[in-house]
């Protein structure tokens, strides 16, 4: 693994986007893109499992992890995220990339895959779809944008075990891994969460409602694997089933004892993704 970065461009100027890279420099590329408040280190176990056959880039989307924060929170949104990821695809080189996206990362991938001449060869969408329920969005809005303060990493871990309980049955070591990479050092010596509270702007700028992206989904042409937590409140079973009949006709894999979203850390979940990407 190596830590790298590149410059993205917004209406306010350039900003640095950090990412970790795994695998051989001459191998086919995979991009793994995280959820709304998360960061690229969530994918460490998956990237390690793919690194023998693929070159994997796991970015911290702008405003998260080790990437820069935008001075104007109104710029946090899918147009900016897609532009930054297009720059990362260009940096990876080659004509095609595979994509693994959790929640927000899945929507970015779906948006890019729906474009003419898209470089996305295969798409894994983790627990999100073209119809996003208001209920699921409201649950996320209830905690995103808050800026809690923690005494130590153990307190961060306790917070994540509650807010991210939908990730499923993780080991103590996996929760500690998430906590260590979810904390940022504050000027007062205490810890905060490793994202800009300004990313909540999209949730507060307009009334909460269901999000309908079926028109995008119907333009996706590459093979798609959709992963769903059996108890998810963001991707309903009905929407997942409809995704098998419309657009690219996705394959659905559902994981029990999991909500939003499968953490992609267990051997079972990693094996499903690896098979889809490598056995094509």
- pLDDT tens-digit profile of 125-177? 999 999 998 887 888 878 787 899 999 999 999 999 999 999 999 999 999 99
pLDDT at 280: 66
Cβ-in-10-Å burial (0-12, 13-18, 19+) of 90 comes to exposed
| 94: exposed, middle or buried (Cβ count in 10 Å: 0-12, 13-18, 19+) | middle
Residue 271's H or E segment, with its range, is helix 267-278
Full-model pTM: 0.96
pLDDT in tens, 55-73: 999 999 999 999 999 999 9
pLDDT digits 0-9 by tens, 231-264 = 999 999 999 999 999 999 999 999 999 999 999 9
pLDDT of 180 reads 98
Percentages of the chain per state (helix, strand, coil), in multiples of 5: 35, 25, 40
d(CA 166, CA 157): 14
């Amino acid at each position: 693994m190596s830590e790298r970065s590149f410059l993205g461009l917004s209406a306010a100027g350039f900003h640095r986007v950090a990412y970790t890279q795994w695998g051989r420099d001459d191998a086919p590329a995979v991009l793994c893109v995280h959820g709304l408040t998360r960061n690229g280190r969530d994918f460490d176990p998956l990237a390690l499992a793919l690194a023998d056959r693929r070159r994997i880039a796991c970015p911290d989307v702008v405003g998260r992890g080790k990437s820069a924060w935008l001075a104007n929170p109104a710029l946090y949104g899918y147009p900016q995220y897609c532009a930054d990821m297009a720059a990362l695809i260009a940096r990876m080189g080659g004509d095609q990339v595979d994509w693994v996206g959790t929640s927000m990362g899945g929507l970015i991938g779906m948006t890019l895959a729906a474009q003419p001449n898209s470089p996305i060869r295969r798409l894994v969408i983790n627990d999100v779809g073209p119809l996003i329920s208001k209920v699921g969005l409201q649950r996320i809005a209830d905690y995103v944008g808050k800026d809690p303060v923690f005494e130590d990493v153990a307190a961060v871990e306790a917070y994540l075990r509650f807010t991210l309980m939908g990730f499923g049955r993780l080991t103590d070591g996996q929760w500690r891994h998430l906590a260590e990479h979810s904390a940022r050092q504050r000027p007062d010596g205490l810890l905060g969460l490793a994202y800009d509270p300004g990313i909540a702007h999209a949730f507060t700028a307009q009334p909460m409602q269901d999000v309908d992206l079926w028109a995008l989904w119907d333009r996706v042409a590459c093979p798609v694997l959709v992963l769903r937590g059996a108890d998810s409140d963001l991707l309903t079973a009905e929407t997942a089933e409809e995704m098998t009949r419309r657009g690219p006709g996705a394959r659905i894999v559902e994981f029990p004892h999991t909500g939003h979203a499968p953490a992609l850390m267990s051997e079972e979940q990693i094996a499903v993704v690896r098979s889809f990407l490598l056995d094509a």
